[in-house]
Amino acid sequence: MPTVTEPRFLEERRNTARSLTGSLRLPAKTDEAWRRTSLEGLDVSQYRPAPARVTLKGSVPEGVIFTDILRAATEHADLVAKYLGKLFPMDQNLLSAAQAAYLNGGVLLYVPRGVVVSEPLQVVYQAGDGEAQYLHTLVIAEDNAEVTLLERYEGTGDYLSVAVVEVFPLQGARVRYGYLQNHSQDAWAFTFRRGLTGRDSTLDWAGGEFGGALVRSEIVNNVAGEGSESKLKVVFGATDRQHHDIVASQVHDGSYSRSDILGRGVLSGRAHTVFRGNGQINRAAKNAATYQRQQALVLSDKARADSIPALIINEHEVEGAGHAATVGQLDEEQIFYLMARSLTRAQAVRMLVLAFLAPVLEQIPVAELRDEMIRLMGEKVN
């Protein structure tokens, strides 16, 4: 929440954003990028911005900054002002403007040149009924630094969460960013994650989407540095009437850069999941390579999975590119086979679902995150 102690740059940023909230609207189905997601029924003004409940876990070496974003804006104003909002402009729609205007929580993680943070750091966001959370996570890893950050989103009741995550691995840096979205099943949740890789850097994204009534989750990464690499892995599970709209995009501007997208999920009830994958190689990104695979398993006749892979290649010297997408159902013969060996149908389905997800779960870089995804998926299937 804005206070009199905020630095001038943040106050000015809030004022600009507030003026935009008066002229911008919510994304609509007439916008191509939101064509399969309806925000009808969302009234942003009915939710009250309240100080976000943010818990930070983990110890850091000397020189590393791991603190609340509002505190950081005062104590490390030059650093925050340099990076805040650079990858996600506030003027896109009402959600982006409101997030900048009413920013009420988040984290700054800054790792100096050459420092390696050996243990994963964690952030937990919790929201309550009627609240609006406007969050911002800023990760800056300077040259040859290394760090892992895990974020969890939780809450109870009907609330609104709008979060922005910006990740900057500079030259030779290695950043692993993982998240677990387990919002209340009554929540509106929008998360916009952006990354920009420096020369020879590596950025590993890994996420799990399980909660929320309506969720829009974007990861858009600019693989900009020569020789840089970005991997993106997403596991999703939707039940009842949940709607998950997931965007996974790798945009190459760096030569000899590499990217990969791997998404797998399970739907049941009347759930609807949209998974848009995009691998884009721009001109001058010579000898770049981008691949993606997205697969969904549908457990009921009422559930719907839209898998939308895309490749955009604007450079003729490409090392490789490809995409694949499938939507299918469980094999009844496999279920029968397991039931013939004394498993109940529910146990057989759970075993087959976890086997289906295994290729992506095995690539989740942090064991704690992987185990929690398995537990939540087990609850979904049961």
User: What string of pLDDT tens digits covers the 382 residues of the chain?
Assistant: 544 579 999 999 999 999 999 999 999 999 999 999 999 999 999 999 988 899 999 999 999 999 999 999 999 999 999 999 999 999 999 999 999 999 999 999 999 999 999 999 999 999 999 999 999 999 999 999 999 999 999 999 999 999 999 999 999 999 999 999 999 999 999 999 999 999 999 999 999 999 999 999 999 999 999 999 999 999 999 999 999 999 999 999 999 999 999 999 999 999 999 999 999 999 999 999 999 999 999 999 999 999 999 999 999 999 999 999 999 999 999 999 999 999 999 999 999 999 999 989 998 878 888 999 999 998 888 7
105 with 75: CB under 8 angstroms? Answer: no
User: What DSSP letter does each residue of 190-204 carry, written as one string?
Assistant: EEEEEEE--TT-EEE
How much is the pLDDT for 382? 74
Q: Is the dihedral of CA 181, 183, 185, 191 positive or negative?
A: negative
User: What DSSP letter does each residue of 226-258 carry, written as one string?
Assistant: TT-EEEEEEEEEE-TT-EEEEEEEEEE-STT-E
Per the listing, tokens 């000899």 go with: 256
Q: Which one, of 212, 205, 199, lies nearest residue 240 by Cα?
A: 212
CA distance 269 to 299: 8
CA distance 147 to 109: 9
CA distance 96 to 76: 23
pTM: 0.95
Beta strands at 121-127 and 53-57: parallel, antiparallel or unpaired: antiparallel
Structure tokens, 313: 């290649």
- Angle value at C-alpha 295, between 294 and 301, nearest 5 degrees: 140
CA distance 252 to 278: 11
DSSP-based three-state secondary structure for 381? helix
Beta strands at 65-68 and 105-111: parallel, antiparallel or unpaired: antiparallel
231 with 205: CB under 8 angstroms? Answer: yes
Question: Cα-atom radius of gyration of the chain, to the nearest Å?
Answer: 21
User: What DSSP letter does each residue of 288-351 carry, written as one string?
Assistant: EEEEEEEEEEE-SSS-EEEEEEEEEE--S-EEEEEEEEEEE---HHHHHHHHTTT--HHHHHHH
Structure tokens, 58: 């983990």
291 with 259: CB under 8 angstroms? Answer: yes
CA distance 78 to 2: 18
CA distance 29 to 214: 14
Q: Report residue 309: phi and psi, to 5°.
A: -85, 150
Which residues is 222 bridged to in the sheet? 196, 251
CA distances from 114 to 63, 170, 307 (A): 11, 11, 40
CA distance 229 to 226: 9
Structure tokens, 238: 């939707």
Length in residues, the chain: 382
Per the listing, tokens 């003026």 go with: 19
Structure tokens, 70: 């509002």
Structure tokens, 26: 């919510």
CA distance 196 to 315: 20
Q: Please state, as a whole number, how many other Cβ atoms lie within 10 Å of the Cβ of residue 22.
A: 8
